[in-house]
């Protein structure tokens, strides 16, 4: 079941949206303030965000910007003013859709469904289809043990391939170096957790546009690594 977060300070509108979305089988949570909404959007898992523009504490512009930096989910922005919608389009904050109030709730539900379906198609959810894992431009064919980055095939050693595949199949989870070492190398292997660091570095050189600012495998300082989906 897809989970949706509504950040909206007008309670009647938020409740209306929630009712319609729940009738369509979605799980829905509401935040009435910008700061709490931003916090929830960043720290909990949702499949889609419906975001009002004018909000107490932190406005929808700022929420959209911050969520877009860290999360890969559709954002539908809602505003009472057509002018504001034009403005946010112009800013290129990365919202996926814009709806002007008042709107028909069934139209909103239709758009929510369309965006969720599109994200599933475009990004994939890390789920295996015919033993292929696809996440944001990276395609891993587990059967053929081949990897493409933005359509270009890259060569990986056996362990690099195993490590990349393991991380990509478990996105958004942090693993310690010890856990990764145990997972990928068998117990008799010569080596230690520094081996993991070396392999992560090699993998990054092949998949990251800028290894100083990794977009896929993030370092969680003092803990380990996480593949960002």
Which residues contribute to the site for Ca ion (CB under 5 A)?
A: 9, 52, 54
The sign of the dihedral angle between the CA atoms of 136, 142, 143, 147 is: positive
Quick one: 31 or 52, whose CB is closer to Ca ion?
A: 52
The first and second tokens of residue 9, run together, are 């300070």
Contacts of 220 (CB under 8 A, 6+ apart): 174, 226
Quick one: 80 or 123, whose CB is closer to Ca ion?
A: 80
Shortest Å distance, C-beta 6 to Ca ion: 12
Helix (H, G, I), strand (E, B) or coil at 131: coil
What are the two backbone dihedrals, phi and then psi, of residue 198, each rounded to the nearest 5 degrees?
Answer: -60, -45
Quick one: 81 or 145, whose CB is closer to Ca ion?
A: 81
Quick one: 47 or 52, whose CB is closer to Ca ion?
A: 52
Shortest Å distance, C-beta 101 to Ca ion: 9
Shortest Å distance, C-beta 54 to Ca ion: 4
Cis peptide before 99 (omega within 30 of 0): no
Shortest Å distance, C-beta 15 to Ca ion: 14
Instruction: Name the residue with tokens 């990897």.
Output: 147
Of all residues in the shown chain, the one whose CB is closest to Ca ion is 54
């Amino acid at each position: 079941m897809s989970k949706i977060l509504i950040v909206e300070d007008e309670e009647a509108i938020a409740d209306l949206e929630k009712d319609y979305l729940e009738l369509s089988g979605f799980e829905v949570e509401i935040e009435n303030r910008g700061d709490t909404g931003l916090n929830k959007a960043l720290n909990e898992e949702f499949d889609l965000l419906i975001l009002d523009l004018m909000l107490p504490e932190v406005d929808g512009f700022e929420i959209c910007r911050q969520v877009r930096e860290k999360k890969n989910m559709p954002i539908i922005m809602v505003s009472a003013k057509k002018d504001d919608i034009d403005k946010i389009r112009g800013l290129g904050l990365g919202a996926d859709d814009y709806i002007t109030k008042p709107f028909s709730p069934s139209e909103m539900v239709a758009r929510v469904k369309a965006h969720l379906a599109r994200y599933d198609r475009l990004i994939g959810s890390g789920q295996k289809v015919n033993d292929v894992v696809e996440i944001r431009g990276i395609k891993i064919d587990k059967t053929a043990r081949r990897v493409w980055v933005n359509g270009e095939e890259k060569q990986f050693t056996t362990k690099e391939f195993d490590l990349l595949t393991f991380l990509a199949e478990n996105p958004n989870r942090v693993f310690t170096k010890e856990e990764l070492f145990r997972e990928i190398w068998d117990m008799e292997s010569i080596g230690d957790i520094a081996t993991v660091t070396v392999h992560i570095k090699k993998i990054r050189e092949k998949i990251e546009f800028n290894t100083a600012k990794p977009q896929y495998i993030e370092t969680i300082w003092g803990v380990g690594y996480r593949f960002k989906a």
